[in-house]
Amino acid sequence: MKAAIVEAAGRTPVYGDYIEPTRESGSELISVRTAALSHFTKGRASGAHYSADGIFPAIVGADGVGVTQDGRRVYFVLPKAPYGAMAEKTTVRSEQCIDVPPAVDDITAAAIANPGMSAWAALAERAHFKHGETVLINGATGAAGRLAVQIAKYMGAAKIIATGRDEQALEEVRALGADVVIPFKLDALHPHGAKEYEDALKAQLSMGLDVVVDYLWGKSAETVIVAIAKAVEDATPVRFVHVGGASGDDIRLPGAALRSSPIVLMGSGNKSIPFSRLLAAIKSVFEAIGPASLQIATKSVPLSLVEETWNDDGKARVVFIVS
């Protein structure tokens, strides 16, 4: 069968032939239709993500949409290594598959599942977000951040604050439901950027904050935490949920920021949430696509172009058409 194959950690996958999987007890043999290209998929393929199997050569792709042997159209996640989602067929444990609603097409289902899950799980499972609360999305211009804004609005947020580097993209996020947008520049060319970002945050956070969903970590997360400590007077805990590290894996956290504020720090992802609950979050996202009018930009590409497309960093989520 045809598949996207990576020979070693860090290599770009190539389109080629791979032996077909066989169905095992407790698993589904799936004819794959679509598979999305995500940071999660890239991290597992490179061996850098903590959930990576480390088996090579292997077929890349952490999740996708396909049809089981009994005709069910399902979203599936984490095929059994060395098989992956980016192949004509794959094998996945039955409990790692969920039915795709008829109204959701293959491309949308594959594209929205992972970033939608990250947003839904962070808000519902970790922050236990409540109707009427104020939420800050740190790093709102990526696919997951944009969905977090839309999902927070759907869940009844009273106020949504969106931050990011790209001012034009933030205006697009405003159109998706953000009430306030705060751009920032934290690179060497903007020596006062952190202070300006902190001041802009404090002006908003002095009016109250309940939840932070952070996709960036690094300097921007440091600045948000310090601003919370300085600006939020209410002793009600601010639940800071770390989801992604687009700006780096480490931060410098002043102890005073924790001692002088009600911040509760937590992470959200595989292993910090039971796997069954992550799948439940994806199901909730699928069910909300219509009622919430959830939007995600997509770019469909034939799987045969995987090598040329692997490093695509465009705004639209790449979805490979497998069959």
Among candidate residues 91, 110, 119, the one with its CA nearest the CA of residue 29: 91
pTM comes to 0.92
Do 86 and 222 lie in a common domain?
A: no
215 within some domain:
yes
Do 258 and 155 lie in a common domain?
A: yes
Do 67 and 144 lie in a common domain?
A: no
Its domain, for residue 300, covers 2-103+295-321
- Say what the pLDDT of residue 260 is: 84
Number of domains in the chain: 2
**58, 91 Cβ separation under 8 angstroms:** no
Instruction: Convert the pLDDT of each residue in 41-99 to its tens digit.
Output: 887 776 544 444 667 789 999 999 999 999 999 999 999 989 999 999 999 999 999 99
Do 225 and 260 lie in a common domain?
A: yes
282 within some domain:
no
- Say what the pLDDT of residue 47 is: 57
280 within some domain:
no
18 within some domain:
yes
Give the pairing of strands 97-99 and 73-77.
Answer: antiparallel
Query: At 11, which CATH number?
Result: 3.90.180.10
Do 159 and 255 lie in a common domain?
A: yes
136 within some domain:
yes
Do 118 and 262 lie in a common domain?
A: yes
- Say what the pLDDT of residue 323 is: 87
> pLDDT below 70 — which residues of the chain?
46-54
CA distance 258 to 252: 12
Do 242 and 172 lie in a common domain?
A: yes
286 within some domain:
no
288 within some domain:
no
257 within some domain:
yes
Boundary (domain end) residue, out of 224, 250, 267: 267
Do 169 and 246 lie in a common domain?
A: yes
- Say what the pLDDT of residue 49 is: 45
- Say what the pLDDT of residue 53 is: 60
- Say what the pLDDT of residue 122 is: 98
Do 83 and 6 lie in a common domain?
A: yes
